[in-house]
Structure 1
Amino acid sequence: MNDRVTVVVATRNRRDRLFETLPEHRAPVILVDNASTDGGPDAINDAFPAVEVVRLGENRGAAARNEGVRRAKTPYVAFADDDSYWTGGSLARAAAVFDAHPRLGLLTATVLIGPEARLDPVSEAQAAAPIGTPPGAPGPSVLGFLSCAVVVRREAFLRVGGFEPRLFVYGEEELLAMDLAAAGWWLCYEPSLVVRHFPLPAGRDVSARRRIEARNRLLTAVLRRPPAVVARTALSTLRESPPAVWEVVRSLPWVLRHRRRLPPEVEAAYAGSR
């Protein structure tokens, strides 16, 4: 059992999936339940007494992970979804990499999808190292990631505030990546770390997901990017999903209070990666 890394899993009404994936974890697990109504928390408590179950009174989406990180006692925290897990040895390797690189704030892994272990396109893109590798860093820099496939330095994650609750779900990773990079932390891809991911066939409201993704892209741009980028993002969002633009407009008082431009070197890296 790994004593340097805690796995934080956020879930809602996915009891059956948890019964499949929880036995695969090889580190202490904190399960943060987003106000499930399927009896999952009680069932997990009974079946997996070693798992710390945190019951939230409301659905906080991706920001539920923040509570898990706050409760973790280890210096590093890995995220997993209720349909994913880290393969044997990956978390021990991650801890060793973090120990050797004090500037490292986040490591992202290779993601293999489904029983056939297909390489996730995101991992393929990260392996190509489009923005290079900083001198002394353990691997290629990344400016984005999949939440189920990262290990974070707990201190770094908490200092930047974790996942922004207003984004809820879908595309919540980009703002966290920006804030970690702006704070001077390295974000790197390490291909020897492997996550298995077993997503269910599409069956959720695809149009709602696209609207939320579009809204979150625009919100993130307004919060951190220069005016020209905000304008381009707003135009593309308007073409894709006018309701998403209206949601952002209604949030402008909050957004403008929290707007903080990226440092020039981080903005340059983002501009060059697009």
Structure 2
Amino acid sequence: MDVGAAGDGAIGRVTTVVVSRDRALALTRSLPCHAGRVVLVDNGSSDGTAELVRRRFPHVEVVELDENRGATARNLGVHLARTPYVAFADDDSWWAPGALARAAEVFDAHPRLGLLAARVLVGPRERPDPVCALMAASPLPAEPGMPGPGVLGFLACGAVVRREAFLACGGFDDVVFFFGEEERLAADMAAAGWWLAYVDDVVAHHHPTPPRDPAARRALATRNAVLTAVLRRPWRIVARRTLAAALGDPATRRGLLAVPPRLSRALACRRRLPAPVEGALRTLEGL
């Protein structure tokens, strides 16, 4: 790690929020790669994560939760950040040297920028995540002065947010809870008038472990896609996603069966997006 980057004035304007649960070993590899202030929100771990981090990484501020709060645990980290910008990281990801200083410079130069989506390099071979190619080729029109292609989605472990914008839009929600939580937040930030842009020269590293149960993840993705549609999209989009799940494989049908317990909460929080944002989402879905 370039320790000189940590002393850069710009990086002092960014706090990195890491959320983890029962991944102490992964943290011993990723935390040494972080520069600047780091807040770790321990999501109800039972493997001694909090104690290990306090002992081995005393510079990291540890917040220990007594239960798993999913993606909403990041909201607590953002509230605790005292910097105008907040970078997210998973327990198996970290930001490249100089990346956060560069991100702060981009935010400083673009007051309407609410979220910066970075280039994410995956694994030891550092192959760009396929999502990055999609964001780089975004068909959405970039407004004059925007620092990169306009996007309506992002990878949480490769995103930096303007703290003010994130909190004003409610952060991540407890309806989706985890996995695919980015979709609703991105739409709400755009609806509030904030720019979301892909900036290729801000880089994050991600070394994920293969999912232990791919079918379970597919079921979770299905559940959350339907719930997100209920939260913000027209009913025909809800119907389309529901039908696709019902006609899919056993995993997607299992995900659809997991929707009802969270449906009342989703309906209570339902709010239609402005026409321009809904139109932009349809443009992306049409691809």
SS of residue matched to 2:121: strand
Kindly provide the amino acid, as one letter, of the partner of residue 19 in structure 2. Answer: A
Identify the residue that residue 281 of structure 2 maps to in structure 1. 270
| RMSD of equivalent CA atoms | 1.1
Match of residue 255, structure 2, among 241, 244, 254: 244
* Counterpart-to-counterpart distance in 1, 2:39 and 2:154: 21
Identify the residue that residue 271 of structure 2 maps to in structure 1. 260
Match of residue 18, structure 1, among 27, 39, 49: 27
The aligned length equals 273
Kindly provide the amino acid, as one letter, of the partner of residue 195 in structure 1. Answer: A
Match of residue 76, structure 1, among 85, 101, 106: 85
Identify the residue that residue 173 of structure 1 maps to in structure 2. 182
Q: For each residue in 1:78-132, what CA deviation from the matched residue of structure 2 results, as whole angstroms up to 9, or x when unmatched?
A: 0001111100111011111111111110001001111111111011111112213
* Counterpart-to-counterpart distance in 2, 1:10 and 1:264: 34
Q: Residue 203 and residue 97 in structure 1: after superposition, are their counterparts in 2 closer, same or farther (change >3 A)?
A: closer
Match of residue 105, structure 1, among 103, 111, 114: 114
Q: For each residue in 1:179-231, what CA deviation from the matched residue of structure 2 results, as whole angstroms up to 9, or x when unmatched?
A: 1111111000000000111111x242222111111010000011111121111
SS of residue matched to 2:247: helix
Kindly provide the amino acid, as one letter, of the partner of residue 275 in structure 2. Answer: P
Please tell me whether residue 184 in structure 1 is matched to residue 166 in structure 2: no
CA contact (8 A) 1:238 1:244 kept: no
Percent of matched pairs sharing the same residue? 55
Identify the residue that residue 37 of structure 1 maps to in structure 2. 46
Worse-matched range after superposition: 130-139 or 34-43: 130-139
Runs of 4+ in structure 1 over 3 Å off: none
SS of residue matched to 2:267: helix
Kindly provide the amino acid, as one letter, of the partner of residue 87 in structure 2. Answer: A
1:1-274 correspondence runs (5 A):
1=6, 2-200=11-209, 202-240=210-248, 241-274=252-285
TM-score norm. by structure 2 comes to: 0.92
CA contact (8 A) 2:219 2:256 kept: no
SS of residue matched to 2:259: helix
SS of residue matched to 1:78: strand
Worse-matched range after superposition: 131-140 or 97-106: 131-140
* Counterpart-to-counterpart distance in 2, 1:14 and 1:249: 30
In the TM superposition, residue 30 of structure 1 has moved relative to its aligned partner by 0.1
In the TM superposition, residue 243 of structure 1 has moved relative to its aligned partner by 3.0
SS of residue matched to 2:94: strand
In the TM superposition, residue 247 of structure 1 has moved relative to its aligned partner by 2.6
TM-score norm. by structure 1 comes to: 0.97
Kindly provide the amino acid, as one letter, of the partner of residue 154 in structure 1. Answer: R
In the TM superposition, residue 249 of structure 1 has moved relative to its aligned partner by 2.9
In the TM superposition, residue 152 of structure 1 has moved relative to its aligned partner by 0.2
Q: Which runs of 5+ in 2 are unaligned?
A: 1-5
Q: For each residue in 1:21-75, what CA deviation from the matched residue of structure 2 results, as whole angstroms up to 9, or x when unmatched?
A: 1111112000000111111110110111110000001001111111100000000
* Counterpart-to-counterpart distance in 2, 1:203 and 1:249: 25
